[in-house]
Structure 1
């Protein structure tokens, strides 16, 4: 089984996340408008809170899986930069009828991941001083000893800490079972196929939003037959989101699943992948055209039921 400590630093460390887009929504209708567009309950958030969520097309297929931050004067959405072209256009589509502005402010912010043993203690000790320097600073605890910080570039944070490869941050996201949609998978899956219902990223009580009928039907009629899984193992060749995964069925191998994200270092490999939800824990996988590769299911850190 994959040892998370291969990825988790022994002391607080920094990851510079330059492959992320930040979208600001501001104006008197910002909360109402976004609440009618996305799966999470935007209106229920108070300033300082955050939520995972998804923005779907009318067919209920996910355009972007995001992390939302509620601030006193605005909302910030954060998602992988490769999704931005299609997602931003779709998000703005009906904004002309509401009193708000939607702006890509990625160039204004420095997006920093922090992780490592005792990071919680480090944040609690040092963050108040940073907040006095930058009142717009956004901080979000993802889990124990793992945080996201968004600071304005006009007030750079003096983080004199070891730096880790940004790819390792996404490896930690894979181990936490958090979906990071890539462009190839955009508009391919309903939110439940990305496990977003298990991550409190879908509200089934807040009312209508784009794609809501499809998402609700998947819940109440049980028609979703896909789920996000974590695969761990080894591969001798480079693996990407374009790679093909095969599952062993008896003496044969069959193409299976859609890769969302990959972490690879030397021969060690982690994959976030959407598979049939009835895939058994003892299933064996490999990378197509790499017969020496070997992959198995790594348990999710949360329950799907």
Structure 2
């Protein structure tokens, strides 16, 4: 279920937003706003990251790329309405412009066996390409961000649902507006995918993020569940876990992908759960889901 293709494929994505920072102080400004270390990113470099409120709760998780003259944040489109004003709040004091430039870019997923070889042949050294950028997100998985008028690579096309499944399979968070203000970055495992720097200095929400690491204050993490469901599964639906003969609320759906009765989803749960714990969708009492091992080591 949701396995990577045997050859590279292109997945056009319609639900991605692109936010750009330009101006002389774009790097300095973003460095003081997000969890990632922007100073270490040269042109073509990219990483995961998060933007928090003053209490350390996420406005957005995103992928960040340095294009040289601008920084691009790629995120779930539903986040922008609340996140962008927060990101711009202090920009009036800096030489930077921050804009939703989604209309000027096209975003696609790239995945499949041999993708790294294909990219080396097509792009060569570095990730800048055709006025855009390739953002590696996992082994043989990448985001392709190109100008709207750029020609897309001649690769077999996959669909958006498949890409969502691949991202869940890889344990990569994709939070939506329904969860803004609910989670600190470690609850979405951003530290496990290089999205948090613990030595970069101050940024919005940094004290909470540091406390979660150094004082063990965080008891939750993001997990993959897979199994059978009865119907569609939507973001923010309630999940229940079995305790003896009873069921108790455990969390909500962060993102999900369904093929027939099979489903794979991401959710935030307590870290001390038994590996054989049984779950279900609250509105689907006959559904059954179990934990799937994460493809990376989970740390604080």
For the 8 Å contact 2:128–2:134, the answer to whether it is kept is: no
Aligned counterpart for 2:91 among listed residues 92, 95, 100: 95
Shift of 1:197: 1.5
Shift of 1:155: 2.1
Shift of 1:54: 0.3
Aligned counterpart for 1:237 among listed residues 206, 231, 234: 231
Q: Whole-Å Cα distance in 2 between the matches of residues 187 and 156 of structure 1? A: 38
The CA RMSD measured in Å over matched residues stands at: 1.7
What residue in structure 2 maps to residue 180 of structure 1? Answer: 174
For the 8 Å contact 1:133–1:155, the answer to whether it is kept is: no
For the 8 Å contact 2:19–2:100, the answer to whether it is kept is: yes
What residue in structure 2 maps to residue 215 of structure 1? Answer: 209
Aligned counterpart for 1:146 among listed residues 124, 137, 141: 141
Aligned counterpart for 1:281 among listed residues 275, 283, 287: 275
Shift of 1:133: 8.0
Q: Which runs of 5+ in 2 are unaligned?
A: none
Aligned counterpart for 1:251 among listed residues 236, 241, 245: 245
Q: Whole-Å Cα distance in 2 between the matches of residues 179 and 85 of structure 1? A: 19
For the 8 Å contact 1:16–1:113, the answer to whether it is kept is: yes
Aligned counterpart for 2:259 among listed residues 234, 259, 265: 265
Equivalent residue runs for 1:1-305 within 5 Å: 3=1, 6-127=2-123, 134=130, 136-157=131-152, 159-305=153-299
SS at match of 1:16: strand
For the 8 Å contact 2:76–2:174, the answer to whether it is kept is: yes
Shift of 1:127: 3.0
Report which stretch shifted further, 54-63 or 242-251.
242-251
Query: Structure 1 stretches (4+) deviating beyond 6 angstroms?
Result: none
Q: Whole-Å Cα distance in 2 between the matches of residues 105 and 249 of structure 1? A: 48
Shift of 1:122: 2.1
For the 8 Å contact 2:123–2:129, the answer to whether it is kept is: no
Q: Whole-Å Cα distance in 2 between the matches of residues 150 and 241 of structure 1? A: 25
Q: Whole-Å Cα distance in 1 between the matches of residues 118 and 274 of structure 2? A: 40
Shift of 1:142: 2.2
Q: Whole-Å Cα distance in 2 between the matches of residues 193 and 143 of structure 1? A: 19
* Number of residue pairs aligned between Structure 1 and Structure 2: 298
Shift of 1:73: 1.0
For the 8 Å contact 2:23–2:96, the answer to whether it is kept is: yes
For the 8 Å contact 2:67–2:128, the answer to whether it is kept is: no
Superimposed CA distance per residue, residues 46-70 of structure 1 (whole angstroms, 9 cap, x where no aligned partner): 1111111100000100000011001
Q: Whole-Å Cα distance in 2 between the matches of residues 70 and 191 of structure 1? A: 21
Superimposed CA distance per residue, residues 151-198 of structure 1 (whole angstroms, 9 cap, x where no aligned partner): 1122222x2222111121111111111111111111101111111112
Report which stretch shifted further, 25-34 or 112-121.
112-121
Shift of 1:263: 0.6
SS at match of 1:197: helix
Superimposed CA distance per residue, residues 79-120 of structure 1 (whole angstroms, 9 cap, x where no aligned partner): 000001001010000000000111111111111111122222
Q: Whole-Å Cα distance in 2 between the matches of residues 217 and 242 of structure 1? A: 27
Report which stretch shifted further, 6-15 or 37-46.
6-15
Q: Whole-Å Cα distance in 2 between the matches of residues 133 and 48 of structure 1? A: 9
For the 8 Å contact 1:51–1:67, the answer to whether it is kept is: yes
